[in-house]
Structure 1
Amino acid sequence: MIEKTNQYKVNPFVTRGASQWVDLHKYFQAGKNSVETCFDTLRKNGYKIYGTSPASTSISIYDLQPTEKLALVFGNEHEGISEDVKAKADGLVHIPMLGFTDSYNISVAASIFLYDLVKKADSLNIPDFYLSEEEKNMLRMKWYRSIVKNSEIHEKVFRKNLQDNL
């Protein structure tokens, strides 16, 4: 989450609990450019950054290939991405539209992008696209720690059982 003027707060009535399964990374430091901070972090981790925009200079979602790590930036539903994001992104991408509107709401657009990219990744048989069993177990452990009371006791027993079964 790139926070510029408002702090993002999870709305439990909108997420219906799904937010507990998603890691949110918030970017805001007073006196610093939040877009730069976020993009610097993403690029250090090997991501190419695309802003979603119906601008005439953007490429079609059909031309976006998941052959490298991608980060998509979605703007708000009224104004889209900021000029700062447009200037600092590696590229712009859009969903071709028919009719009188030039954008979907953010949840629909994100769903379309994710569906399309996963479908393409499956057909390209990209190695390491999906989480490994070790990565899945690390995430499970993190989630369990956040929802189970006295998780350290359960974790100790779990790790012992794992060790005994090796």
Structure 2
Amino acid sequence: LEDIYQPHNASAVLRSCDSFGVQDVHIIENKNIFTITQGVSVGSDRWLTLYRYNQEGINNTQECLKKLRSEGYIIAATTPHTKQITVEQLSVNTKVALMFGSEINGLSEYAQNNADVSVKIPMQGFSESFNISVSVALCLYDMTNRLRRKHNNWELTETEKLDLELNWLRKSIKAGELIEKKFFRDICN
């Protein structure tokens, strides 16, 4: 997510990611600070792994793309403006990172120029684009359904699930890390 500035949209996106089983969300903050509205996200941000790119003086989009590519992701820029494939044509046979841009301007020129593929959501009316939270939900609905139909090994491993559950518990319990340290200190003595 690149430079999303409306908290209700940001929060709705997180809720959709959680609802469709997407674990990792990469948040780029070159111009806008990503803010979560709890009434909209209904706590979904606690169950997601959020990566934030917000260092001053650097191109955080470039840093995000570098990290995703190092992990084997194909970068798919969502945009209604260029020649592109539809979301239904986007392969689910490889790791894909969908990029969504700000509500008014969409993705930055850098993001568009450095994506591996451009993706659009087919539209029939006169509107140029969907709201970002709707776009995310439509793309995730299509891709996660196709992924589940085509692949038997798309889920997290048992070890990955256990690691996530432990992280969730740490976040959910007040002073969770301190309690964990005390627990291990006590059993080691």
Q: TM-score range by the shorter chain?
A: 0.7 to 0.9
Provide the aligned length of Structure 1 versus Structure 2: 157
- The answer as to whether partners of 1:86 and 1:92 remain within 8 angstroms in 2 is yes
Residue aligning to 1:164 = none
What is the root-mean-square deviation in Å for CA atoms of aligned residues?
Answer: 2.1
Q: Which one of 57, 60, 65 corresponds to residue 31 of structure 1?
A: 57
1:126, distance to aligned residue in structure 2 (A): 4.7
Q: TM-score, normalised by structure 1?
A: 0.85
Task: Tell me how far apart the structure 1 counterparts of residues 167 and 111 of structure 2 sit (CA, whole Å).
Answer: 32
What do the CA deviations read for 1:42-100 (whole angstroms, capped 9, x no partner)? 00111110110012411111210111100011112222111111011111101100011
Rounded to whole Å, the distance in 2 between the matches of 1:60 and 1:99 is 16
Give 2:115's aligned residue. 89
Matches of 1:31 and 1:137, distance apart in 2: 37
Which of 140, 148, 155 does residue 130 from structure 1 map onto? 155
Give the conservation status (yes or no) of the 8 Å contact 1:67–1:126: no
Q: How far is the alpha carbon of 1:26 from its aligned partner?
A: 1.0
- Stretches of 4+ moved more than 3 A in 1? 149-153
Alignment of 1:138-153 (within 5 A): 138-149=163-174, 151=176, 152=179
**Structure showing the higher strand proportion among its residues:** 2
Partners in 2 of 1:156 and 1:133 — Cα distance?
Answer: 24
CA–CA separation in structure 1 for the residues paired with 2:159 and 2:78 = 32
Deviates more, 1:72-81 or 1:37-46: 72-81
Report deviation, 1:10. Answer: 1.8
Structure with larger RCO (C-alpha < 8 A, sep 6+): 2
d(CA) in 2 for partners of 1:78, 1:94: 16
Which has the greater radius of gyration? 1
Identical aligned residues as a percent:
35
In structure 1, runs of 5+ residues without a counterpart are: 161-166
TM-score (norm 2): 0.76
Work out which of the residue numbers 41, 60, 64 in structure 1 matches 2:90: 64
Match of 1:79 in 2: 105
Task: Indicate conservation of the 8 Å contact 1:52/1:93, yes or no.
Answer: yes
Q: Which residue of the partner structure matches residue 129 of structure 2?
A: 103
